[in-house]
Amino acid sequence: MTPSWTLAAALLAAAALSCTASTRPPSTPAHPSRPAAPAAPLPLELAAPATEGRSTPSPVLGILRAELSRAKQQLGKGTSDAPYFVEYEAFDTRSVRIRAEWGAVIDSSDTRRRMLNVDVRVGDPSLDNTHPLRAGDPFERLQSQFRTQATLLPLQDDPLAIRAAAWLATERTWRDAREQLIRVRSQRAVQAAEDDPSPDFSVERPVTWLDSPAAFDLDRGAWETRLSALSAGFARRPEVEHAVLEVSVIAETRFLITSEGTTLQLPTTHARLSFDASTTAQDGMGLHRYRAFDARLPGELPDDGIVQRAIAEELDRLLALRRAPVAEPFAGPVILEGRAAAVFFHEALGHRVEGHRQKDDDEGQTFARKLGERVLPDIIDIFDDPRATALYGAPLNGHYVYDDEGVASQRASIVEGGVFKGFLMSRAPTRGFFHSNGHARREAGNFIVARQGVLVVQPRQSVSTVALRKRFLDELRNQRKPYGLRFEDIEGGYTNTTTDGPQAFKVLPTIVWKVFEDGHEELVRGVDLEGTPLTVLASILAASDEYSVFDGYCGAESGSVPVSAISPALLLARMETARSEQSHERPPLLPPPPLSRGEGGAR
Amino acid sequence: MKPSVIRSALLIAAASAATSSADEPSPSMRAMQDELGRTMTLSLPDAPKPYFASFRVVERQSVYATASFGALVAGDDLHLRKGYVDVRVGSRELDGSTAREGWRDWEIPVEAMACGDDYDAVRRDLWSLADRAFKKSEAKLARVQAALQTQATRDERLPEFSAEPVTKTMAKRASVLPPRASVESLANALSAEGRKWPALQSCQVFAFAGRQRLQFASSEGSTADDARGEAWVDVELSTTALDGMPLSRRVSFWAADWSQLPAIESMTAALGAAAEELVKLRDAPLLDNYSGPVLFEGRAAAQLVAEILAPELAPAPEPRVSLQEGAEADEGSAFAAGLGTRVLPAGVRVTDDPTIDRLGAVPLAGAYAADDQGVPGAKVQLIDDGVLLGFLTSRAPRRGQEHSNGHGRASWSEAPGVTIGNLLLSSMHPATPSRLRSRLIASARARKLAFGLIVRELSASDGSAWSMRIVPSYQSSSQALPLVVVKVGLDGKEVLVRAGRFRDLSVGALDRILEVGAATQVVSEITPTSMSVGAPPLLLEKVSLVKPAQAFRAPPSLPRPGDKE
């Protein structure tokens, strides 16, 4: 029913990277008002072209290669059951997570694990076991989708131990693949021809790229002390019910080898310092604020002064939300500030242009036959480019060098001048798109599908923030609306792309302003943005000249993957909102207990 | 007739004596006691007030490592603390706590809390948890009262919460956590043994050392401070028979402290014996359908008791009313109507004794000073001479048992239920091994069978290694599979076989125990909570085994990669 969604809260809540100016309540205009003009170039930093590896291979690569070769050569030897393609992808991850609240550490862990995904294809590239089964037996479909599983690999480079784990996983996957191919062939034999005659696997050039394994230094004790000290201040706000400060640091090295000869050693590191606080409004609505700082390494995270200011700011906003009135359902002009607009495009468009959905009969295929058609106003370009490493110098979560099928990440053009141009492609071809553009992605333990990386909305013409606001007020008057809504911050969203539900999306805003004709604004709460993609996309009127980034994790069939979405603020002629789901539980009945340290709480 | 509850204070007293500063409450305990007073003032307009509140804070520090074929797979050291709050509104007679509500029952006021005994942090967490618990209890009681207006209820009205004497329990057993490297080293060394058997597909070792401290305080004035340690080494071996039947078994070692685990030589020998047996099983013939006498010996006897008897002796409280629309009625214990009647053959005794931590030389995992409702653990005679004397109870009264016998136990993250501690079955007239064997053969002969069966080890329903769990009462028969099975011919000759599954193996099979042996074997578990079951060999007059219903997937087509490849 909901094959794709964007995880909310802790997973998807955003980072305050370079977008602070566009995610704060209105204050001094950033630029003088000016008419629409050609947009300034987007300062995206791209990774160097992936050509040659430059590091030494980890022993695990050789060990896995030995087992992969044995499997490729000997499984079903001389029969049609023999695999024609085998891929091993190992995820070697070290993660540190420390959480603190009320001045004390809740938990602290430093774990390492290696997960192996084995992909085996039997049949041939024109028809293999990955061919989507058509509607008719949903259980069988689900069974085939969720059969992929990860195997824990030893952390030490012991050949027998690693190969034994890989061997069992390969045997199991190979058997699954053979059984699945029988289902695929029998369905083909009895059902009408499919609309999309594309093969199941594209031919791509094998590559070798060896980068140094991911690593980081972190003084766990020092971080525990730091988080404890920073979190002690939460207790001074009696209205705050929960407040957790967390640092999580991940270093992941992906080892990917295929029977075609691809060998990759791909490191990534990510550090996040985040803060999550919640309270309850008098009517029972749960409210929370989340703020995160992202960096490549823990040493690059901001200092205490910046963090304390951010916490104070978010707590102020949380308490302001607590006092804010609940918004009524609304239809009319809206401004989506950069991060909200970015999530809007991620949900409304991004998931619908993932290549594998175009040949799946159970998918709505909103854009499958829109190639060359206008789907957006002509001022908008949209592309996804996972080569992008940073914007305004801040790292992008969705960046990667090679995808999970060993294809170099590339810029995939989706919309040019409002005209639909193409899809995000894995190695599963679809009508007219025979090659991957490096968007095959998965979380360890899942199968691969095409996913977003760094989605960018780039207007060809833009206006200043002040001009956008002015056009917004003009639009209110034109439509005779007493007020419009400005969506400043969001926590995530989700969408349905399959035929068994409405082709709709929902974005979950957290900071929403009611903007009146005279320009004054009132904070409101309890409102969700929803709509159907084609209608809403067509109602974009203008874009601002300041970009914001939404960094988070997106969950779909292939698991949770890091993503970024970049967009300027957008003015839309009409969007609909609905009241958000809410509990009706009273706020805490007693004030918080008094502090023995003598601050805050009940006396 | 009442169950015999022997409130042995031996363990508690001994443990208290070892405590140096027993009189000084910890910051957490002070926070709990201070916040309890405020919790009892919680109120909503026109709604009942709390009549009872308790806080339970469990802190766990642990080190673990998992290794496979001599290489580390995972390892970590963890320090976690969880708080659980019970706020009861209304009265003992009716507070709604026993009603079942389906998914709502999982909304438990339990939460990760700050570690490190910080008074302010603990108290702030308890405040939030208590608020949630109070509102949940108010809402639930309102739903129960509404349901009572429309549903027929049992004639006999039991209170929902028992009155218990105020107790102060203190047990601080010293436990030292080993360095992580020691735990990893043991897991590596032990799992490397699996390399010796090329037919083994996996040899995974989980080594764990932990210490746990339960702190409890209630509005009645009861307190408990129960600190204990545990060490656990769990070996899981697996292979596949030539016809594809998955074969797995566990070898486990439990001790109250890492230093008390058996020597590695002893663990290696046990692993070796299990591996040998598993490899032999791989080539063993498949048993045809069978119905006749079966001798459960070795671990299988204790496994059998854990599977089919333990759940009947630790039934969930009888709900006052059901709030689950369309839910099937809980059948409760098969012994529910049998208090005072014979439920097992004469001469059989069953006790649960959390006050002992050893049975002879064998350490028992289910020892504790106070349960998760703050009630001191007590030895309970459940069955004597085959006659049911009572059930294990928490503070939810049962018919004929109005008080807790200290078995309101909870897993790490759940509300207290009724769970065994150290459940031990014994016989007043134990049979010698030779008598057990001769009666097995005689019984087979009397049934005109060519052989009888000995079952020495069970596996889980999916062919993976067996682990102890408390079977929900709606699952009336065991789903465990017979793993190590031996045919004993009338001439006494033994042949190892593989068997499919049991047909309807439920507690009724114990009606026909022919003999009970003497040498007790113990199986222990650390999840969902620490517990042990011990039983001597049990000869059952009639058990049915049937061949596997489905064909298995073919075994791996390639051999396990070798050391030299």
Q: What is the pLDDT of residues B448-491, one digit of tens each?
A: 999 999 999 999 887 777 887 654 444 567 889 999 999 999 99
A589 with B38: Cβ contact below 8 A? no
pLDDT band with cut points at 50, 70 and 90 for residue B414 = confident
Residue A261 φ then ψ, to 5°: 115, 0
**Per mean pLDDT, which range of B20-24, B256-260, B416-420 is the poorest?**
B20-24
Residues of A in contact with B556 (CB under 8 A): 167-168, 171
Radius of gyration of chain B (CA): 25
Per-residue pLDDT reduced to its tens digit, B72-118: 999 988 888 999 999 999 999 999 998 887 776 767 667 788 887 88
| pLDDT, position B24 | 80
Residue with tokens 């930093």: A45
Stated pTM of the model? 0.88
Nearest CB neighbour to A168, from listed B42, B115, B556 = B556
Residue A338 above 70 pLDDT? yes
Residue A19 above 50 pLDDT? no
Residue A603 above 80 pLDDT? no
A163 with B113: Cβ contact below 8 A? no
**Distance between CA atoms of residues B98 and B315, nearest Å:** 13
Query: Considering only alpha carbons, which residue of chain A is nearest residue B118?
Result: A104
Nearest CB neighbour to A161, from listed B42, B43, B69 = B69
A592 with B127: Cβ contact below 8 A? yes
Per-residue pLDDT reduced to its tens digit, B271-299: 999 999 999 999 999 999 999 999 999 99
| pLDDT, position A14 | 30
- Buried/exposed B43-59: b ≥16 CB within 10 Å, e otherwise: eeeebbebbbbbbbbbb
Q: If you average pLDDT over every residue of chain B, what do you get?
A: 89
**Distance between CA atoms of residues A231 and B311, nearest Å:** 45
H helical segments located in A275-409: 304-323, 338-348
The residue among A35 and B519 whose pLDDT is bigger is B519
- CB within 8 A of A274, min separation 6: which ones? A10, A13, A245, A246, A247, A248, A290, A291, A292, A293
The residue among A498 and B347 whose pLDDT is bigger is B347
Counting residues of chain A whose pLDDT is more than 90, the rounded percentage is 64
Spatial contact of A484 and A156, defined as CB atoms under 8 Å apart: no
Residues of A in contact with B134 (CB under 8 A): 589
B557 with A75: Cβ contact below 8 A? yes
| pLDDT, position A141 | 59
Mean of pLDDT values over A554-583 = 89
A110 with B76: Cβ contact below 8 A? yes
**SS3 at position B428:** coil
| pLDDT, position B186 | 98
Per-residue pLDDT reduced to its tens digit, B159-206: 999 999 999 999 988 788 999 999 999 999 999 999 999 999 999 999
| pLDDT, position B155 | 57
CA distances from A94 to A40, A251, A254, A425 (A): 40, 5, 12, 30
The verdict on B492 touching A (C-beta cutoff 8 Å) is no
Amino acid at B150: T
**Distance between CA atoms of residues B270 and B258, nearest Å:** 18
Mean of pLDDT values over B30-35 = 96
- CB within 8 A of A151, min separation 6: which ones? A115, A116, A117, A118, A165, A166, A168, A169
**SS3 at position B246:** strand
DSSP annotation string for A21-32: GGGS-S-S-SS-
- CB within 8 A of B439, min separation 6: which ones? B293, B431, B514, B515, B539
B35 with A593: Cβ contact below 8 A? yes
Residues of B in contact with A585 (CB under 8 A): 135
pLDDT band with cut points at 50, 70 and 90 for residue B216 = very high
B71 with A162: Cβ contact below 8 A? yes
A112 with B115: Cβ contact below 8 A? no
CA distances from A229 to A232, B64, B150 (A): 5, 29, 55
Task: Name the minimum distance, in Å, from the CA of B421 to any CA of chain A.
Answer: 29
The verdict on B125 touching A (C-beta cutoff 8 Å) is yes
**Alpha-carbon torsion (B219, B223, B229, B235), positive or negative:** negative
Per-residue pLDDT reduced to its tens digit, A194-207: 778 899 999 999 99
Nearest CB neighbour to A171, from listed B127, B131, B558 = B558
Residue A153 above 90 pLDDT? yes
DSSP for residue B342: B
The verdict on B69 touching A (C-beta cutoff 8 Å) is yes
Counting residues of chain B whose pLDDT is more than 90, the rounded percentage is 71
Spatial contact of B162 and B402, defined as CB atoms under 8 Å apart: yes
A67 with B561: Cβ contact below 8 A? yes
| pLDDT, position B129 | 93
B113 with A74: Cβ contact below 8 A? no
Residues of B in contact with A99 (CB under 8 A): 112
pLDDT band with cut points at 50, 70 and 90 for residue A11 = very low
**Distance between CA atoms of residues B77 and A107, nearest Å:** 11
The residue among B411 and B515 whose pLDDT is bigger is B515
| pLDDT, position B450 | 97
A105 with B115: Cβ contact below 8 A? yes
Per-residue pLDDT reduced to its tens digit, A496-539: 777 666 767 788 888 999 999 999 999 999 988 888 877 888 89
| pLDDT, position B327 | 52
The verdict on B104 touching A (C-beta cutoff 8 Å) is no
